[in-house]
Amino acid sequence: MNQGLVAIVFVVGMLAFMGIGMPMAFALVLTGASMAWVLDFWDTQLLAQNLVAGVDSFPLLAVPFFILAGELMNAGGISRRIITMAQAWVGHIRGGLGFVTIGAAILMASMSGSALADTAALATILLPMMRAHGYPVATSAGLIAAGGVIAPIIPPSMPFIIYGVTTNTSISALFMSGIVPGLMMGAGLIVAWKLQLRKIDLPAGTPMPFGQRMHETVKAFWALLMPVIIIGGMKTGVFTPTEAAVVAAFYAMVIAFFVHREMKLAELHGVLVRAAKTTAVVMFLCAGAQVASYMITLADLPGTLAEWLGPLIGSPKLLMAVMMVILIMIGTALDLTPTILIIAPVMLPIAVKAGIDPVYFGLMFILNGSIGLITPPVGTVLNVVAGVGRMRLYEVVKGVKPFLVTYALILFLMVLFPQIVTAPLAWMR
């Protein structure tokens, strides 16, 4: 069978189904079915088996529990307390709400691992405040969107879980690899925001008394303890990433009901329904991608790609740069989860053959895909901010540009110097 024909069916099929507005999961299933037909390998039972195999994985149990933990954080006041604490310490600085956004984004990233959940919480609370204080709406929205995509990098991270399951890479190692790059993303946003402040006329505020700052910090104590328990428990081997997700959900529920007491029993139904809907979307994507991935493997498209990139295998950094450019282009049209499920199993063997550390490659893959979340035209995080802020999408796209450039520079820096990731990872291991 002509592998070029199968590749054309895959690309054209995906673009066609996406072009008519079909949900991504259905597009993946139908594209996989089309490839099976072209390969003369049509078997409905085989398609059904692959759909089941796509979600039949114990580590994937972490996904619904981390999603539930994120919903409980928002409903139980944990997210709001993090933002209030950050505002107490840096909100008075000129442009302080921008620094609050960055600090809150980093702290919330260490709890939920979901870019969409974190972005929605940040936009709901901070965007109205920034509007009321005279901040440029487009730049503010862009900063919130850029802050939201730190969540897939700092552990716990749902994309890392999906990547680890898909490529058989250590999820714990992936989690540890994201700490330094995630903090670098936060530092990069601080620099970019300071540069933006040169163009914005904003007055400085009055600092809170030290006692009030400590009061807000104490109120956020239980929220701050959550990442310590999750990351500390995994680092010390007390529990696995999957078990950590259960611990996170249970801890968030206890805090919401019995410590903060901001959540009523009647609200639990709504929280569970929202978490279930989000979980269903993610899991159906995993199931649909398994169908397409099986057909891609059957057609040996990874081997074809390896032949194309073969001349670069002797130069790992150049190969890495080329693969990052390819992923950036894919990220403009494809969301992070399907990108992981379809592309990661194809690219990882090539990277390993070139001597690239698989955990480092996984971190770079997820970082690139996270940047894709704020890259038009798809940019799901951009759409979340636009929806919450009742803005036009092009305004958010305009505002996110300087922060997008910052992330691209960080990505380029990590391609040139892999030790930024590998050295801290070796120390933490």
pLDDT surpassing 60 at residue 1 = no
User: Does residue 89 sit in helix, strand or coil?
Assistant: helix
Q: Rounded CA gap, 117 and 120, in Å?
A: 5
pLDDT surpassing 70 at residue 429 = no
Give pLDDT, residue 307.
81
- Residue that has been written with the tokens 């993303």 in this structure: 185
- Binning pLDDT at 50, 70 and 90, where does residue 300 land? confident
Give pLDDT, residue 411.
97
Task: Count the neighbouring beta carbons within 10 Å of the beta carbon of residue 41.
Answer: 15
* pTM value > 0.75: yes
Give pLDDT, residue 2.
63
Give pLDDT, residue 23.
85
Arithmetic mean of pLDDT, 312-337: 91
Q: Rounded CA gap, 200 and 14, in Å?
A: 43
- Residue that has been written with the tokens 């110097």 in this structure: 417
pLDDT surpassing 90 at residue 25 = no
Average pLDDT value for the chain? 91
Q: Rounded CA gap, 102 and 100, in Å?
A: 5
Residues 105-115 have pLDDT tens digits of 999 999 888 89
Radius of gyration over every alpha carbon of the chain, rounded to an integer in angstroms: 22
Arithmetic mean of pLDDT, 185-199: 96
Taking the C-alpha atoms of 250, 252, 255 and 257 in order, what is their torsion angle to the nearest 10 degrees? -80
Residue 133 sits in which domain range? 3-428
- Residue that has been written with the tokens 């099976």 in this structure: 36
Pairwise pLDDT comparison (18 vs 116), residue with the higher score: 116
Q: In terms of C-beta density within 10 A (0-12 exposed, 13-18 middle, 19 or more buried), how is residue 349 classed?
A: middle
Give pLDDT, residue 296.
83
Of the candidates 181, 178, 174, 109, the residue with the CA atom closest to the CA atom of residue 348: 174
Arithmetic mean of pLDDT, 268-297: 90
Interior angle at CA 94, CA 93 and CA 98, nearest 5? 85
Q: In terms of C-beta density within 10 A (0-12 exposed, 13-18 middle, 19 or more buried), how is residue 20 classed?
A: exposed
Give pLDDT, residue 44.
87
Residue type, 352: V
pLDDT surpassing 60 at residue 48 = yes
Residue type, 226: M
Arithmetic mean of pLDDT, 351-362: 96
If DSSP states are collapsed to H, E and C, what string results for 278-301?
HHHHHHHHHHHHHHHHHHHHHCCH
Give pLDDT, residue 334.
83
Give pLDDT, residue 186.
97
Give pLDDT, residue 272.
96
Give how many domains the chain has, as a whole number. Answer: 1
